[in-house]
Amino acid sequence: MTMPAEESGETPLRRRPTQRRSARRVERMLDACADLLDEVGYDALSTTRIAERAGVAIGSIYQFFPDKRAIAQAVTRRHVEEFVSRIGRRFISEEYGGWWDAVDAIIDEYVEMHRTVPGFRSMHFGDVVDLNLLDAVSDNHAVIAGRLRGLLLQEYGFTDSEDLDLAVLIAVEAGDAVLKLAFRRDPNGAPEIVSEAKRLIRGYLSRQLVGASA
C-alpha cells in the first residue's frame, strides 16, 4: 500500500515554520482558506483573498505556499488528520459491540465534521479539486481507506490481505457517494440517507469480511 504523502515526506509547504509565531501564521492561513472555501468555493479562491482574511501580507503566503492549490491541499490534510484523530479518540473512549458499531461511529464522525468543520463540506478529502490531492500515486479515497483499514486491523484483529484492502476501499467510495447525496438533499445531511449509508456499508462489509477476523 502506498504510504500517505505526509508520511512519505511530501508536503504542500514550501518550508516548514520553525518558530511558534510562524506556525500560528500558517494556521491562520489555513483557517482563512477553509472559511473561504465554504463562502466562495475553490474556483473563486485566491491567495490574495486568503491573505486578506488571515490578516497577513501576500508575501507571507508565498513564503510558505506556492499557490492556492497547495493551501487547499494543506487544509485537506488537516481534515484527514482531524478525522482520523477523532475516530481514534472514539475508539478509545467508547465501547462497541463489534466492528459494525465502529463503522457507524466512523460515519457519524464524518457527518459531524461535514456539519461543523469549516471547509470540510466544500472539500471533503479534496476530490473536488484533485483526486490525488493527498498522495501523488494513490487517490484520496485510497489514502483514507488505508487509514481506516489500519484502525480496523488494530482494533478488531482482521487478517491483513488484499481482499480487506479492496473491501475497505469500496466501502469508503460507496459511503462517500451516498453521504454526499445526503448533504445535497439537506445541508445538515438527510437522516434517512445517512441511515441508508450505514446499512449499505454494514451489509457490504458483512458479506466481504466473513472469515477475515482473527
C-beta atoms surrounding 99 within 10 Å: 19
pLDDT bracket for residue 195 (50, 70, 90):
very high
Q: Which of 87, 74, 68 is nearest to 17 (CA)?
A: 74
User: From the centroid of its chain, how far is CA 139?
Assistant: 12
Q: What is the residue type of 193?
A: I
Beta bridge partners of 213: 158
What are the contacts of 26-29 at 24+ separation with CB within 8 A?
Answer: 26/64, 28/54, 28/55, 28/56, 29/54, 29/56, 29/60, 29/61, 29/64, 29/65, 29/71
DSSP letter at 213? B
- Residue 4: predicted pLDDT: 36
Locate the domains of the chain by residue range: 5-208
> What is the Rg, in whole angstroms, of the alpha carbon atoms belonging to the chain?
18
The string of pLDDT tens digits covering residues 199-208 is: 999 999 888 8
The string of pLDDT tens digits covering residues 60-81 is: 999 999 999 899 988 988 888 8
Q: What is the mean pLDDT of residues 147-165?
A: 80
Q: Are 187 and 89 in contact (CB under 8 A)?
A: no
CA angle 22-26-32, nearest 5°? 145
Domain spanning 5-208, CATH architecture: Orthogonal Bundle (1.10)
Residue 122 has pLDDT above 70, yes or no: yes
pLDDT bracket for residue 124 (50, 70, 90):
low
Lowest-confidence segment of 49-63, 108-122, 124-138 by average pLDDT: 124-138
Which residue carries 463489534 as its cell? 98
Buried/exposed code over 111-134 (b: 16+ C-beta within 10 A; e: otherwise): bebbeebbbbbbbbbbbbbeebbb
Give dist(CA 116, CA 62) in Å, integer.
29
pLDDT bracket for residue 210 (50, 70, 90):
low
Residue 127 has pLDDT above 90, yes or no: no
Give dist(CA 96, CA 53) in Å, integer.
42
